[in-house]
Amino acid sequence: MRRHLKGVRLLIALLAIFGLVAAACSSDDDKSSNDNTSTTAGSGDSNGDDKADGSDIRVGMVYDVGGRGDLSFNDAAYAGLAKAEADFGIEAKDLEPKAGGEDRAELLRLLADEGYDYIVAVGFAFEDTVKDIAPDYPDTIFAVVDGAVEEPNVKSLLFAEEEGSFLVGAAAALTSETGHVGYIGGVELPLIQKFEAGFVAGAREVNPDIKIDVTYITQPPDFGGFNDPARASEIASSMFEDGADVIYHAAGGSGGGLFEAAYSLGDVWAIGVDSDQYLTVDAPQNERILTSMLKKVDVAVYAAIEAFVNGDHSGGTMVYSLEDGGVDYSTSGDFITDIIDQLEELKAKIVDGSITVPSTP
């Protein structure tokens, strides 16, 4: 069952995510790429009180399946949009596709036909759709989160998910008392396999002999694995019963099932993804969330809109990595205080190239 955020929890979560945005966004011109060349996104501060006026700019957003309220990917994208609306005075509109996502193209065209200047498509599933639609609207800029599209009016917002996943994999191995951990992916796709690859590499960096269970909820073209908490709960419970005591998910709204399973047992841990899920999941379930892999979709969305407001109407690619803070791990709950030094050492080795994190299993 899809869960909706309660008012107070939503306010807390958005304030927390906005704090990340304020610390990580930058309006420097060199952060956007021109002529479809790839750049690495920076992480400086935005312009404080000297923010540009975007009151004449209309920004639309179409979510991935599950929409707002997934406590993860879509909610992070919304946080970036909401902060841009507050900071720049843009007119914002957000839409949610049907459960199967079959109306993605229809929603994008609706926003473009209504005259929205900048349209953000949230999720890799929009990649082919935006590639087909963008040439029909040359005066509209599209941004695709997790999608690589080489069109002059498309901005691709990409992440090094494997790097952040490596660190939470290391945290899992350092915390595990059984030497047995697990990974639940939403749908077995190359993007979600990046999370798996990093997690497995990080866990094995700490403990080469660790046992790692890997299960995907669905296979393409079935994308229901991103919004099936009941199935995730079944998988997590089975892993826990088999001896795993820490499980990481990259399954969007399905992650709620993992948290329920971890809380019901009480002596095991879950690891969240995308947002700091300790802050977005209702207590007391969040007391079993060891850490979260932070994929700062909010930062990417905010930075892309900020660049547009400041006059960058180009396409190209922006890449968010561990080096610039685009991915990281959370410390909320203080459950990993004793291992932070070890995680920071591993982080430094990734940044300086001493450790190369694989992006495929």
Same domain, 108 and 171: no
| Residue 46 in domain | yes
Q: CB within 8 A of 102, min separation 6: which ones?
A: none
Is residue 234 predicted with pLDDT exceeding 50?
Answer: yes
Same domain, 47 and 170: no
**How far is Cα 300 from Cα 147, in angstroms, rounded to an integer?**
13
Same domain, 190 and 338: yes
Q: Among 16-20, 101-105, 305-309, name the one with the lowest average pLDDT.
A: 16-20
Q: Among 1-10, 167-176, 229-238, 313-322, name the one with the lowest average pLDDT.
A: 1-10
Same domain, 102 and 115: yes
Same domain, 104 and 217: no
HSE of 82, CA atoms in CB hemisphere, 13 A: 16
Q: Work out the angle between the directed axes of helices 340-351 and 190-206 (0-180°, nearest 10).
A: 120
pLDDT band at 100 (very low <50, low <70, confident <90, very high): confident
Average pLDDT of the residues in 125-146: 97
Is residue 47 predicted with pLDDT exceeding 50?
Answer: no
Q: What is the number of structural domains in the chain?
A: 2
Single-letter code of the amino acid located at 34? N
pLDDT band at 37 (very low <50, low <70, confident <90, very high): very low
pLDDT value, residue 34: 34
271 or 43, which is more confident: 271
Q: CB within 8 A of 275, min separation 6: which ones?
A: 13, 17, 71, 72, 73, 75, 76, 292, 294, 298
Same domain, 30 and 115: yes
Same domain, 72 and 212: no
- For 166-202, what is each residue's pLDDT tens digit? 999 999 999 999 999 999 999 999 999 999 999 999 9
CATH (domain of 55): 3.40.50.2300
**How far is Cα 269 from Cα 60, in angstroms, rounded to an integer?**
37
Average pLDDT of the residues in 247-259: 96
Same domain, 311 and 267: no
Same domain, 259 and 344: yes
Please give the residue range of the domain that contains residue 136: 7-159+297-320
Same domain, 147 and 20: yes
> Which helix (H) or strand (E) element contains residue 260?
helix 255-265
Same domain, 215 and 132: no
| Residue 168 in domain | yes
Same domain, 93 and 226: no
pLDDT value, residue 110: 98
| Residue 54 in domain | yes
The CA-atom distances, in angstroms, between 352 and each of 311, 341, 348, 357 are: 34, 17, 6, 12
Q: Among 9-23, 195-209, 296-310, 325-339, name the one with the lowest average pLDDT.
A: 9-23
pLDDT band at 51 (very low <50, low <70, confident <90, very high): confident
Strands 327-329 and 289-295, sheet pairing: antiparallel
- Do 87 and 46 form a contact (C-beta atoms < 8 A)? yes
pLDDT value, residue 49: 57
